[in-house]
Structure 1
Amino acid sequence: MNTILYVEDEPDIRAIAELALQTIGGFSLTSCASGKEALAVAKTQVPDLIVLDVMMPEMDGPETLRRLREIPMMADVPAIFMTAKVQPNEIAEYHALGALDVIPKPFDPLSLAQRINDIWHRA
């Protein structure tokens, strides 16, 4: 089973994505409401993929990914950002951080799992 560490501060979006990824996609999911929570979880479990929101309070998605990369077991785990911030320069920044790709928000819950699978297997 493919496991995803999913980081999203907005409860409604998190709930929809959880449903889409677990029920439709069949993924095993660990959801976190903040970058800080993701860092704590990452010390005890290594996912197959990280999916991160970009705009979060306290620690944003790019900073969370940088901090996750400092944990040796997490250094090579592929990552995807989900965000409404999809200007070409912003997407270039996410790729420079090592993200596989960016999924624009709002996303289609029915196709989210397939979209993640496509990005993951293309990499």
Structure 2
Amino acid sequence: MTKKLQTILYLEDDPAISELVLLALAARDDLELVHVATGPDAIARFPEVKPDLMLFDVMVPDLDGIDAARTIKEQHKDHLAPVIFMTAKTQAKMQIESMGALGIIAKPFDILVLADQIEEMYAAGIAEQSGARVEA
């Protein structure tokens, strides 16, 4: 069975970084990126979007990305979406690892390889979780 990455719920409050990520992923015609700027928005949009992957910044106002992901996982056990965190804070690494994240993308990131990096983390994580063959 093959699971292709099609939909990403993206949490980022910084407009400049959001624009870079949107540009980096725009070339992937078959990939839908749904952007939200706050943790509560991510939680609210999750059931509607039903993403294949959550790409969350750690440091966002109101409710950080780690707590937003934790809340989503607790509230939506019927649709488990893996998460990749983006952060400039190395202190958050242990907390992120305890969440079972597929990976961490350090800021600043390389816009030229970001899309491939996300797809590789997704494919490796899904293959590990299911034992299935995965298309990136």
- Per the TM superposition, whether the score is higher than 0.5 is yes
Alignment partners' CA distance in 1, 2:77 and 2:46: 8
1:105 and 2:107 equivalent? yes
Tell me the equivalent position of 1:86: 90
Q: Which residue of 2 aligns with 1:27?
A: 31
Q: Give the Cα–Cα distance (whole angstroms) in 2 for the partners of residues 74 and 110 of structure 1.
A: 35
Deviation at 1:25, TM superposition (A): 7.4
Deviations 1:64-119, CA, capped at 9 Å, x for gaps: 111111232565211000000124xx322201112111000011111100001111
Counterpart of 1:119, as a letter, is M
User: Considering only CA atoms, is the larger Rg found in Structure 1 or Structure 2?
Assistant: 2
Aligned AA (2:111): P
1:32 and 1:79 map into 2 onto residues whose CA distance is: 15
Aligned to 2:9: 5
- TM-score, length of structure 1 as denominator length: 0.89
Contact persistence 1:43–1:71 (CA under 8 A): no
Given that residues 68 and 75 in structure 1 are in contact (C-alpha distance below 8 angstroms), is that contact kept between their aligned partners in structure 2?
no
Q: What is the distance in 2 between the residues matched to 1:74 and 1:13?
A: 31
Is the 8 Å Cα contact of residues 58 and 86 (structure 2) preserved in structure 1?
A: yes
48, 54, 57: which is aligned to 1:50? 54
| Conservation of the 8 A alpha-carbon contact between 2:50 and 2:79 | no
Instruction: Specify the alignment match of 1:114 in structure 2.
Output: 116
Paired residue total: 121
Equivalent residues of 1:82, 1:104 under 8 A apart? yes
| Residue equivalent to 1:96 | 98
Unpaired runs of at least 5, structure 1: none
Q: Unaligned stretches of 5+ in structure 2?
A: 126-136
The root-mean-square deviation of aligned C-alpha atoms, in Å, is: 1.7
- Runs of 4+ deviating beyond 4 Å: none
CA distance in 2, matches of 1:21, 1:14: 11
What is the one-letter code of the residue matched to 2:102?
L
The counterpart of 2:18, out of the listed 14, 21, 27, is: 14
Higher relative contact order (CA 8 A, sep 6+): 2
